[in-house]
A and B are shown apart, each in its own frame.
Chain A
Amino acid sequence: MSDALSLTKDAKKPHRTSKSGAKANKKKEKGGKVERHNPRAFSVSKIGKTRKTQQRNLDRAQRKEVVPQVDRAEEVPPPVMVVVMGPRGSGKTTLIRSLIKLYTGHNLKESTGPITVVSGKNRRITFQECPDDLCGMVDLAKVADLVLLVVDGSFGFEMETFEFLNILQVHGFPKVMCVLTHLDRFDNVKALRATKKKLKTRFWTEVYNGAKVFGMGGEINGKYPKTEVRNIALYLSRTKFRPLRWRNTHPYVVVDRYEDITYPQKVLEDPTCDREVAVFGYVRGTHLKAGQRVHVIGAGDFGMAEVSALQDPCPLPTKEKVANRSLNKKESQLYAPLANIGSVVIDQDAMYIDIGRANYTRKENLLLEDGAAEAAGGGGGSGSEEEEEDDGDDEYEEGGGGDFDAKDSSRLLRELQDVRSAVDEKMGASELKLFGGRKGGRKGVSGEEASMAAARAAAAAAAEEEEADDGGDGSEEESSEDEDEGEESSGEEESSEESSEEGSDGSSDGGAMSVDEDEGNGVKKRKNIKMPREERVAASPGGSGGGRTRRRALFDDDDVTGRGEDGRDEEDDSDGSMSEDDDDVDENGGVSQAWKSGMATRAAERFLQRKSQNVNLQDLVYGRPGRGGQDNAAKEGEDSASEEEGGDQEQDDDFFTIRGGGNKGSKRRGHSSSGGGDAESEDDDDDEDGGGGVGGGDRSKFYPDREALDDWEGTGDDCAIEAIRNKFVTGDWGSGAGANGAGGGGAGDGDDGDGDDDDSEVYGDFEDLQTGDKFGPGAEDSDDSDDDDDGDEENGMETEREKNARLKAEAMASKDEGEEGDEDEEGGGGGGEKKKRLDANGEEIEDDDEFLREATKRREDQQTRNRKEFEDMGDAAQLRIRGFPQGRYVRIRFKALPAEFVTNFRPENPVIVGGLMAAEEGLAMVRTRAKRHRWHGKTLKSNDPLVVSAGWRRFQTQPVFATEDPNERQRYLKYTPEHMHCFCYFYGPIIPQNTGIMAFQSMGNTATGFRVALTGTALELDAKFEVVKKLKLVGYPDKIFKKTAFIKGMFNSDLECWSGSTSLRLGGSSCSVILTPCYVG
């Protein structure tokens, strides 16, 4: 014990720092750092670390900044294109069917072609099932906004899925979601979960981490469980889309309806003749212009003979209607002409209408026809109804119109069916009155026909009624029918009236009706019922083809309307061209002179009238559009074309004569109020010397009359010079601004940035160097306020400068305000208010993002300008200038598509019409940077044919691979390098730079492995590129003479045949020269 004590006494106990308690805490707080007296002075204590964090933050900020894509979205966007892709048997159709059922309550039988539904208050969706071949995949990848990748979960991923993902990547990656199906085949939950996870992670590596993956349970009634489908629908409705570059610069139409409108006789005579085809669809991408060339994928480049806007077949509900509620069944519409909805079956060469049960036809007739129909339709049409019933869908049954009770109408229709003599026979019997109004014509019609007309009218009315009933039922016959009801709003009376009118014309309308039914030429039952309505559409001026399918009717109507319109046009023109015509007559002599009295006064009146009407310059330049405001650009083009022909007849070397005498009339009077009239007249005058002389043709410089220029010599208060005084800074600013700027801005307002710097110069004094005169601002009344001018000059200058500075500050303020919001500009407001805002803004402004904000501002301004500029112009004029905006439903008529397009048309294969920009047609050598896909099994060889997909097109070409040597030489490569990019040159259609390209060795389904052979981007276009190949000329002597020898086997192709005075080494001896290179097979 004592030892221990002594020990403690000897060895001094070391100090134990307390590990807990107040003191320890205090120390902990300090963290062992040296306390600094002035922490602010050392705010950056760790320079390296701070630099790193700052750099990192900057980098991150930088990464966030992307060049903003211009958003070209319109108010009513086109339906979202949802492509459902998956290998065969993975459940694509089931998925689409389930979604359609969810949205519209309709049971889809097939899912061919684009199916458009209204999915929400402000979203429509077009579903398209991706066919099972590579071409379809490539085409659809170019137009998909969102892709639902259907994967058979029980089987795992298949090659198609990855191929498709790769295709998507090349053509601008749209949104992708994955749907795992057939998960009910797992009986082990653990295995299911593991598989799901595995598939998900694999999918994520392909797309991005967190990409949406849905799982689907088993089928119930051929559909997926409701909750899971609803989940997908939720995401479909929420997804936002980012503009893709190619589609942001090119218009395109995914065709959802197609009609062959070739004259049947032509096809009969030559089955391979070019077909006239009308296709329908929503415009997507940018504006589709009527004169644009388009590429029909798979068919080639074509000019559009006609583009016309149609009524939206599947419109969004109006905003007010659905403001506070969800859509009802009637509003959630369905439009899918290619998908055999309802009772229409599309066959290769015809459409069969399943009329289900016949309401009108007598039993005895029906039996006969049924047999015939079955024979013709191959059971396709009539069988479908039964199938539908088998499906257990009770809703559908109502579609046939079971509770039909319009006995009168059915009686009338039966009478119609009983008509035994054809209309043309009746025509022969009837009288025709050529002149007189329609009433007169009506009198001339025979009694029999009059009764027929009445019957037709009644029938039409009945049809209308029946339809109204259908709509009221809310059954699905249809939601797609509802869309047509929009058109119908004009009312039954109107249509019945029209039908009676048509009947009274004694034309063959009725005949057309029945004949077309016989032909079964591409009309639905619904359309059939609504025949009168349809005819009206065709008859309305310019509204060519509101669902028009009847050729016969179309011809008649076109003729009639055409004649009518021409007549009207002539009348319109007459006031302008009259004078000219009359002059001609006068020269011939021998015409009554009565009309000549007071011609001058009348002309003067008309001139004034026209002047007040604001001569339409556009008409003068582009020719008169005519067609009562309903015209479209293509039509107009045809008009001008015909004008040219007219011009040819008159003056052989005249070119592009303007129709309509308005300009000529103005020429005669030589008025110069409007630039257009003036220019026109001179154009006409100058025709001759333009053709021959040197001085006349093709010069942009414009010379006024020499005589007119003498006016400038005048003096006095009302001389010419005084008249333009206010266009100079020395003039009166207020009126000067008024005279100059219609925008009201002018320089005097001081609200535009550009002007103000210059203003300051204006205010300053200067010396006229040539005369030595001095000018002070006091000498000119240069501001609105004239008060300062009275003071002495120096003083005035002082105040001016001050004022200048103030104005400048205000201008800056208003400029900044403009960046914040446009409403300020309109407000104008007082100066004080502006100043306050400046102060508020002034603090916010940071130099860093000044540039970015400036750019944003500019873009926004531009977009407002885009929106506002043509707003007041009326639809037809807007369509002509801007083209058809996205979201419009259009009908495109092609004059000559190859017959194969029609004969091989399959609704399940997508038809895409892609617009080509200027200079994108034609062929060129294309230089691309490309890389063989690493999953593709084989290396690629130069000059082996590849199928390239670029832009809208797919084409086969022979690529040449090359690599760049350090001396910028493009060296030929026989094979693609491994794991490296190389240059790939090929001859093909023009592709803009930076467009993604990809290539396949074969598009067939038989190929094994990964079919994508090559991916890359287009770099450059040219007529020719230089790729060089190093040649080793090795040959064997064949015949040897004294100083010459024939060498064998030196060249391996024509291309290599090369002669030049390069020294060839000949087994150690000195140089020799190739004299005649030649390659023999």
Chain B
Amino acid sequence: WLAANQQTIYIVILMIFVGIEVIGRVPSVLHTPLMSGANAIHGVVVVGAIIVMGQADPDNIFALLLGFVAVVLGTLNVVGGFMVTDRMLEMFKGKRQKK
């Protein structure tokens, strides 16, 4: 099992370090926008929903419906997530210039 999944294990470990490193010294004012941005990025789960949907048997209404709802929710996460983050940061810019 270890031999077969070696690469995956490496990816997991390296990505954990990248994730920690990348946001290492974020100023506390950016906490909420960063959380929102990260929230949008895990919306990548919609890719899985698209794969489920695209492989569902066209006669299987249950599978189609399940996949459809998953795609809708995943897209909501992605689109809403990035837009809300942008609005937050937009508000930010104004505040900083006033200072």
Answer whether A and B are interacting partners: no
Give me the interface of B with A, judged by CB distance under 8 Å: none
